[in-house]
Structure 1
Amino acid sequence: MTVSLNDTAFGGGQSSPGASGGQDSRVVLSARGLRRDFGGFVAVNNVDLDVHHARVHALIGPNGAGKTTVFNLLTKFLQPTSGTITLLDHDITKTDPAKVARMGLVRSFQISAVFPHLTVLDNVRVALQRPGGLSTQFWLPMQALNRLNERAMELIEAVGLQDARKNLAADLSYGRKRVLEIATTLALDPKVLLLDEPMAGMGHEDVHIVSDIIREVAKDRAILMVEHNLKVVADLCDQVTVLQRGEILTSGDYLTVSQDERVRVAYMGTEHE
């Protein structure tokens, strides 16, 4: 996706109102000296990152800056060449992805990952099977899933999909599919939620709806998101970290970051380029 900048996006003027407004700002996910080599290519180099409870933290940067690689390292889809990762005071540097997810670090992907031929309700019930203790009990009748209905409906209502609970996921708009995906990730009761381009491909109305959902979700969990829509970042995020060529260029609130000339150059280049 191409990043588009304009006077509004990097005009400064106002800092983000933040998502939390609370006093609990403990670090729940951190990385120190994170590095990943692919042969002779250094994709991520010396990345230090702190993600706080009840805050929305954006990871931004030009295409190819290493944002998704950082996500893959944090969620252990990739093993770091060097560095350490800590989740809830536990070193997870060498922990496998499934265990990391069970510990409370859950992510979404750039492409919507729902079951298209299941209803909205059944998609959420599938996600609830592990925390509900049903994921390996295949001998139980289908009626056993009914115990998950109450919690499933709570999640569906929390993201505003109650009117579509009986609809097939395939029949939802793209934006509502992404909303359903948020509901299924919340079914795992994450302590830290990583969202990879949650607004990608959405129209203005869907962006507004999903922003409100993320703001609400962040009241009691940490969120780290990769996002190209800088208006969303400005309106939603408490902290912004900018990557360039796999390294951190700067970090701070949106107002601070947006006024950094190095960030403008990283996105738009110089007059001589």
Structure 2
Amino acid sequence: MATDTVLKAEGLTKDFRGFRAVDGVDLSVLRGTVHALIGPNGAGKTTCFNLLTKFLSPSAGRITYKGQDITGMKPAAVARLGLVRSFQISAVFGEMSVNDNIRIALQRRRGHSYDFWRSQRILAELNQEAAELADSVGLSSFLPTPAKELSYGRKRALELATTLALDPEMLLLDEPMAGMGHEDVERTTELIRKIAASRTILMVEHNLSVVATLSNTITVLARGKVLAQGDYKTVSGDPRVVEAYIGSGHA
């Protein structure tokens, strides 16, 4: 496993009308690892995640990706560099099939919009790659199925497939297990483990069992600041982390 830093934040800060949601966060994500960002409600996880993915602009601090300063970049420009995020709410086209959802993403990677008037031959060229991506997320038997007919967990799997279609070097996952039942959590955990074999992943996740299973490194936020960082054994044994969770009503 390589040890070079892919994504780095230095002094990352975000103020909202006098309220400091993120306060001087330093974060380094190493290539080839799964890095989790956790913390009790109100800790600043989502704000920090949105800063790193450029959906918010920092009040102060610096963000670099593969050594390049991306602090002032727009989300689309960052995505073109290979840094791609998912969202808490599944973002797929419900009326379209699994196959067509993935083909849309494949065309976006190639710099084209999805043109329904393109010849079937041209669109069919994408079918093999779409089928391979569907297989990679356990959706091979659902290719012709409208996305709206998929279970919630499988919609999230489709979202991962469309994200992977962009061929990102690094994935940022925003609460990938949100709203899932036990079976879907297990399936998605294995899917993320499979994806992580060839990519770097940063995820915000509330399910601490998933965090313990998947993560190489965990950064714990509390009140907008880094409270602790390390592997699961290190952070789970930190009295400050235990106090932060118990004090906020978490087990």
Please give the range of the TM-score, normalised by the shorter of the 2 chains.
over 0.9
The range that moved more, 133-142 or 162-171, is 133-142
Q: For residue 26 of structure 1, report the CA deviation from its aligned partner.
A: 1.7
Aligned to 1:61: 39
SS in 2 for 1:257: helix
- Give the aligned length: 249
Percent of aligned pairs sharing the same letter: 60
Counterpart of 1:33 (choices 6, 11, 22) is 11
Q: Shift of residue 201 of structure 1? A: 1.1
Output the CA distance in 2 between the equivalents of 1:178 and 1:72: 19
Give the Cα separation in 2 of the matches to 1:154 and 1:57. 26
Matched, 1:112 2:90: yes
- Confirm whether residue 226 of structure 1 aligns to residue 204 of structure 2: yes
Query: Does residue 1:171 correspond to 2:149, yes or no?
Result: yes
**Counterpart residue identity of residue 41, structure 1:** F
Structure-to-structure mapping, 1:1-273, within 5 angstroms: 23-135=1-113, 140-269=118-247
Q: Name stretches of at least 5 consecutive residues in structure 1 with no aligned partner.
A: 1-22
Structure 1 residue 194, shift from structure 2 partner:
0.5
Write the distance in 1 (CA, Å) between the matches of 2:134 and 2:226: 37
TM-score (norm 1): 0.88
For 2:116 and 2:53, the matched residues in 1 are separated by 28
The runs of at least 4 consecutive aligned structure 1 residues that moved more than 6 Å come to 136-139
Match of 2:196, as an amino acid?
A: A
Look up the SS of the partner of 1:51 in the other structure: strand
RMSD: 1.6
Report how far residue 248 of structure 1 moved.
0.5
For the structure 1 residues 203 and 32, does the alpha-carbon distance in structure 2 shift closer, same or farther, using more than 3 Å as the test?
A: same
Stretches of structure 2 that go unaligned for 5 or more consecutive residues are: none
Query: Which structure is richer in relative contact order (CA contacts within 8 A, separation 6 or more)?
Result: 1
What does the per-residue CA deviation read over 1:20-72, in whole Å, with 9 as the maximum and x for residues that have no partner?
A: xxx22321111000001111000101101111121111100011111111111
Alpha carbons of 1:270 and 1:180: their partners in 2 closer, same or farther (altered >3 Å)? closer
**Residue 188 (structure 1) shift:** 0.6
Q: How far apart are the structure 2 equivalents of 1:154 and 1:230? A: 31
Per-residue CA deviation, residues 117-176 of structure 1 (Å, 9 max, x unaligned), is: 110010000111122343287864354222211111111011110011110110000000
Question: In 2, are the aligned partners of 1:57 and 1:240 still within 8 Å (CA)?
Answer: yes
Which residue identity does 2:136 align to in structure 1?
Answer: A
Q: What is the rounded CA distance, in whole Å, between the counterparts of 1:111 and 1:53 in structure 2? A: 27
SS in 1 for 2:89: coil
- The 2-side partners of 1:155 and 1:129 are apart by 14
> 2: CA distance between counterparts of 1:224 and 1:208?
19
